Amino acid sequence: MTYLNTKQQAMIPIAAFTANGKLDHLSLAIINGLENGLSINEIKEIQIQLYTYVGFPRAINGISTLMAVVNERKSSNIHDEVGKEATPIAENIDILAIGTEVQTQLAGKVVEGPLFDFAPTLNQFLRAHLFGDIFIRDVLNHQDREIATIAALATIQGADAQLKAHYGIALNTGLTQIQLQEITQIITSKVNEDTGNYAKRILKQ
């Protein structure tokens, strides 16, 4: 039986509190993450990715909180691991083609339908930017990105369809049903009981 590792567990409240804007709680979650093996760049990468789901204001506030925590710890002579930078993307790469391949792999099928027929630019942006520019960055793997995304979406009212879709994507990355249940349990215990119950209800569906 495989459970989430310590770093993955620590990502969940970081993503959730970045998404819901509760910065005091986020500070504590960041400290816990740093003390449980997450690097500064891994936490930063979670917050960079989440701007595509919760917007620039929440992502910027999250990174500002991370910066403040890191600087305060430095002043206390605590030096956290910076971690690796993303591998540079080759200049001649077809980012739309790569993003489409990643999206198809994660979704388990070519993503199309009436919504994207109505607004094809939306799917182009998803492919080129979210699944291209962001998901190919190797600071986090796809499983970790989906853990963060699920935790963030669980805090957003009315995101039922998106949360359900990302549970499916998470399974396609190799995460198990038990690990998804563990995510909802951590949300319940570390973030908010109502948020956790919502995440559990959508998972059951």
Mean pLDDT rounded to a whole number for the chain: 96
Asked whether the predicted pLDDT for residue 28 surpasses 80, the reply is yes
Asked whether the predicted pLDDT for residue 179 surpasses 90, the reply is yes
With a CB cutoff of 8 Å and minimum separation 6, the contacts of 36 are 6, 7, 9, 10
Q: Indicate the Cα dihedral angle 114, 117, 121, 125, nearest 10°.
A: 50
The pLDDT value given to residue 91: 86
Can you tell me the mean pLDDT for 50-61? 97
Can you tell me the mean pLDDT for 159-187? 97
pLDDT tens across 101-136, in order?
999 999 999 999 999 999 999 999 999 999 999 999
Query: Distance between CA atoms of 57 and 151, rounded to whole angstroms?
Result: 18
**What is the token pair recorded at 81?**
């691991």
The pLDDT value given to residue 90: 87
What are the extents of the domains in the chain? 6-87+137-204
pLDDT band at 1 (very low <50, low <70, confident <90, very high): low
Asked whether the predicted pLDDT for residue 2 surpasses 90, the reply is no
**What CATH code is assigned to 6-87+137-204?**
1.20.1290.10
CA neighbours closer than 13 Å in the CB half-sphere of residue 101: 8
